[in-house]
Structure 1
Amino acid sequence: MPGHWRIHRNRLEGHNRLYNDYFADPAVYPDYIFRRTFRMKRDLYFKIVQAVEEHDPWFQQRRNAAVELGLSSLQKVIAAFRMLAYDAAADSLDECLRLGESTIIESMRRFVRAIIEVFGNEYLRAPNEEDTARLLDMNQ
């Protein structure tokens, strides 16, 4: 396309590195480093990824017209998590995740919308009397 830059980022390598670092058995980084890096347990992370994938098909890995695998849901969701957890700029995540800035911004936009629509009624609401009582019991 005239005037359009195409950077071959080797997206599959980015997914494989990410998977081997955090999700393989055994992973390069153990559970406590995953928790420190992503500020949650791995099981919760997978619950969120699954919910986001089911809600928005954009997060599902697909093949393009050349039958090449596209970006994985792990890459797209981790981009949003890293922006939220570390207040990272979109272009700072390109090298480690193998995603372009515009894709990272789109991931963040769709991720936030999916979280609000999927988990909003349960977690993004003001606490009721039952919640307050449960929290007070936990703190005693």
Structure 2
Amino acid sequence: MDFIEESRDLQVLEDAIRYFVNTNVQQNEHQHPRKKRITVPRDREAAHDSLVADYFSDQPMYNEDNSDHPNAAMRLGASAVQKCTAAIRMLAYGCEADQVDEYLKLGASTSRECITKFVDGVIAHFSIDYLRKPTPEDVQRLLREGEERGFPGMLGSMDCMRWVWKNCPAGWKGMYQGRSKTATVILEAIASRDLWIWHAFFGTPGSCNDINVLQRSPVFDDIINNRAPQVQFTVNGNTYKKGYYLTDGIYPKWSTFVDTITAPQTYKQRLFTKRQESARKDVERAFGVLQARFAIIRKPALAWNVDML
């Protein structure tokens, strides 16, 4: 009988211990849930070989001996060709970051970092040639082109373009929403006939109109501070020392703006309006070519801050 009672007590004790252990484990799991990290196997080596065979087989852009380096797990990471191709695809096609995973075997976070580094590299390399103000030689060329088109003294066409911002933070939507009820960011630009955008001012909320953008824009800072290149031309016997820009009717009636006539009545007014609208389409055409070459601008922006855009 004593043996049976001791066995029964041991069984009760084991059940009690098992109950308390299971209870504590369940409580710990409820209080501190742990998610198992999922590692997605990506065959980056095969993706690189396929990419080189498709696009770079004749003259490879990079040498695999010095472009690929093993990571901490002693596996080759994504090659420079894969990273640059991911950035170019996102810029040219406007695809999302995770869409390049199917062919290039790159995750969304890696693709976003690639496009950031790629654009930074482009700006660092080409900003000296393109992201600059016109030199005196450029000004003379612009004046010569304008005079050939019947507008002596014209330096370019000025207008604004709106870029839809899909991932605009909820707290900022009221500031960035315009009449279209969608969040947009405004780009102000001045373009010449050869599609050279020599002035670009980006980041104004979409709730502003072109006049509000103009008030914030630094386009006339050089004129105010007497740093602008000297411009001199003659029209109808009158000599002028400041160039002008072709705009639409919303811009203020400043001497540096030449806008169209809203309701032309005479033949002279209709002829001027036709020529002015024809020449002012330079900036509209520049926006169209910009969106055609880089579809990422044509589609809603997926970034989370204006600096990234």
TM-score interval, normalised by the smaller of the two chains: 0.5 to 0.7
| Correspondent of 1:96 among 97, 103, 109 | 103
| Aligned CA-pair RMSD | 2.6
Q: Deviations over 1:40-89 (max 9, x none)?
A: xxxxxx5xx8xxxxxxxxxx532112322111001001111011111111
Please tell me whether Structure 1 or Structure 2 has the larger radius of gyration of its CA atoms.
Answer: 2
Alpha-carbon distance in 2 for matches of 1:94, 1:80: 12
Relative contact order, higher structure (CA 8 A, sep 6+): 1
Q: Given the alignment of the two structures, is residue 111 of structure 1 paired with residue 144 of structure 2, yes or no?
A: no
Report deviation, 1:128. 3.2
Runs of 4+ with deviation above 4 angstroms: none
**Structure with more of its chain in strand, by fraction:** 2
Pick the structure with more helix per residue: 1
Q: Quick one: distance in 2 between partners of 1:13 and 1:72?
A: 11
Alignment partner for residue 137 of structure 2, among 124, 130, 134? 130
How many residue pairs get matched? 105
Say yes or no: does 1:120 pair with 2:127: yes
Cα distance in 2 for residues equivalent to 1:97 and 1:86: 15
Residue equivalent to 2:93: 86
CA offsets, 1:7-51, max 9 Å, x none? Answer: 111000000000000010289xxxxxxxxxxxxxxxxxx5xx8xx
1:112 deviates by 1.2
Q: For 1:65, which of 54, 60, 72 is the aligned residue? A: 72
5+ residue gaps, structure 1: 28-45, 50-59
Percent identity of equivalent pairs: 41
State the alpha-carbon separation in 1 of the partners of residues 119 and 59 from structure 2. 31
The TM-score with structure 1 as length reference comes to: 0.64
1:34 equivalent in structure 2: none
Q: Which runs of 5+ in 2 are unaligned?
A: 1-34, 146-193, 195-309
Q: Output the CA distance in 2 between the equivalents of 1:3 and 1:121.
A: 49
